Structure 1
Amino acid sequence: MQEALQFSDQPATVRHARINAVDGERFGVVSATGHRYWLKPALGCLLQPAVGDCVLITLSGDQGYILAVLERSHAQDCELRLPGDVSLNLPQGALTIKARDGLALESGAALSIAAQSSSVQLGQTDVHVERLSLAGVRCDSHWQTVNEHAERLSQHVSLHNVQYDDSRRHVKGHEEVRAGSLRQRIEGDWSVRGETLDLFADIAVAIDAQRIKLG
């Protein structure tokens, strides 16, 4: 392709052209009159041009730009490219994004979200993190079924209240409980069974019942 040495000296003109080559950030275009130019997309041309696109170009003196992509020769992925930081500001109204086949977000080093309230509805979700920290004033959780698997679990609670309809706990190894005081109240039966049973008290042991059976 022979690059035009100089564009038209007339005031800025706008015309249609077809992209037929790419060289880095420049695109080779052929105008409707057959003239060939190497042009860069204008800052306002958000849609990244591709070979075969019909584009709107402007020429003025020795400068020229691709203003917009008018038509694609065939279906392909579209790319919106911006050179630096971008801020989307809506002084009024709301922003809605709809994607039929999904939405992928890649933020690189960090992702920050700030909102007074949020609502998320998902059919199924998988989250994988190396480390997770949560902090807040109150947390309410309601589930039909909860399954947890952890190699180690540490909890520090000032006050712990638990209510169960039924509870079953199986400890394969050793279990140890340390408490300043311990009180158990059982409305029905209480039974303890083991190979050996040791009861130690520094001061006294009291058993109070209408009948006591040993042996």
Structure 2
Amino acid sequence: MENVARKLEPARPWMEYGRVEACAGRLAKVRMGLGLITAERAVGCLLDPHVGDEVLLSVDGAGSAFILSILRRPEGTEAIVSFDGPASFRVAQGNLTLAAQGEIGLAAGRVAVDAEKAVVRLGLVSLVAERLESQVKRIKSVSKSVDAVCRRLTQRLGNSFRYVEEHDETQAQTQRVLVEDLLTMHSKNAMIVSEEHVTVNAEQIHLG
């Protein structure tokens, strides 16, 4: 009975230090005092092990070994936080801040942002997209200068109002204005200059 009881006793783990010599997914070859063993990255160890890392291991007599933490790694090694399944960052109270001295990169098949209010302060924005679609109830924009280069621009508006304090100029190879009902032009002075022909065609023409 005593031998059976010993076999039923759970394996008792102990802590060991080690150095990573090779990595393959969640598994790593770790050199420790007892020799080279294969250890699995524990779920609580979010950093992916890298060759040269000094790690803290949990080892038991049944042959199981887990990397619990990355203690020290060579300078300049990229730190990668990885998850094997769906992951969420949840803050019950307070704010969540992501800060970096360099670049913050985001790569995903789809990005969804849901917020009641968003404030973005950027020095320079560069957007490259194949297609842009937006649905906005109201837009208010204030800018010092706007430069837009378009191959084609089409606008469908219910009403359009434009107020220009100083000069308004349109340069085009040809221009056509179609008005279904009434066209009114009012100015203090008006001048029409044509190099060749001027044609006015109407049922009635009133001058003066």
> Are residues 1:112 and 2:112 paired?
yes
1:1-215 equivalent positions in 2, closer than 5 A: 10-31=11-32, 33-60=33-60, 61-107=62-108, 109-165=109-165, 166-171=167-172, 173-179=173-179, 180-187=181-188, 189-194=189-194, 195-202=196-203, 204-208=204-208
- Rounded to whole Å, the distance in 1 between the matches of 2:26 and 2:111 is 29
Instruction: Return the letter of the residue paired with 2:130.
Output: E
Instruction: Return the letter of the residue paired with 2:127.
Output: V
- Rounded to whole Å, the distance in 2 between the matches of 1:206 and 1:18 is 97
How far off its partner does 1:23 sit? Answer: 4.3
Structure 2 regions of 5+ residues with no counterpart? 1-9
- Rounded to whole Å, the distance in 2 between the matches of 1:56 and 1:121 is 42
Q: C-alpha offsets along residues 152-182 of structure 1, whole Å, 9 cap, x if unaligned?
A: 11000101011112111111x2211111210
Instruction: Give the direction of change, closer, same or farther, for the CA distance of 1:10–1:86 in structure 2 (3 Å limit).
Output: closer
Structure 1 regions of 5+ residues with no counterpart? 1-8, 209-215
How far off its partner does 1:62 sit? Answer: 2.7
How far off its partner does 1:10 sit? Answer: 4.8
- Rounded to whole Å, the distance in 2 between the matches of 1:191 and 1:94 is 63
- Rounded to whole Å, the distance in 2 between the matches of 1:23 and 1:111 is 29
Q: How many matched pairs?
A: 195
How far off its partner does 1:24 sit? Answer: 4.8
The answer to whether the 8 A contact 2:55-2:71 is kept is yes
Instruction: Give the direction of change, closer, same or farther, for the CA distance of 1:92–1:199 in structure 2 (3 Å limit).
Output: same
How far off its partner does 1:49 sit? Answer: 0.8
Q: Percent identity?
A: 23
TM-score by length of 2: 0.88
Q: Which residue number in structure 1 is paired with residue 3 of structure 2?
A: none
Q: C-alpha offsets along residues 40-90 of structure 1, whole Å, 9 cap, x if unaligned?
A: 101111111112211111112232211110111333111112111101111
**Superposition RMSD on alpha carbons, in Å?**
1.5
TM-score by length of 1: 0.85
SS in 2 for 1:92: coil
How far off its partner does 1:142 sit? Answer: 1.2
Instruction: Give the direction of change, closer, same or farther, for the CA distance of 1:139–1:23 in structure 2 (3 Å limit).
Output: closer
SS in 2 for 1:55: strand
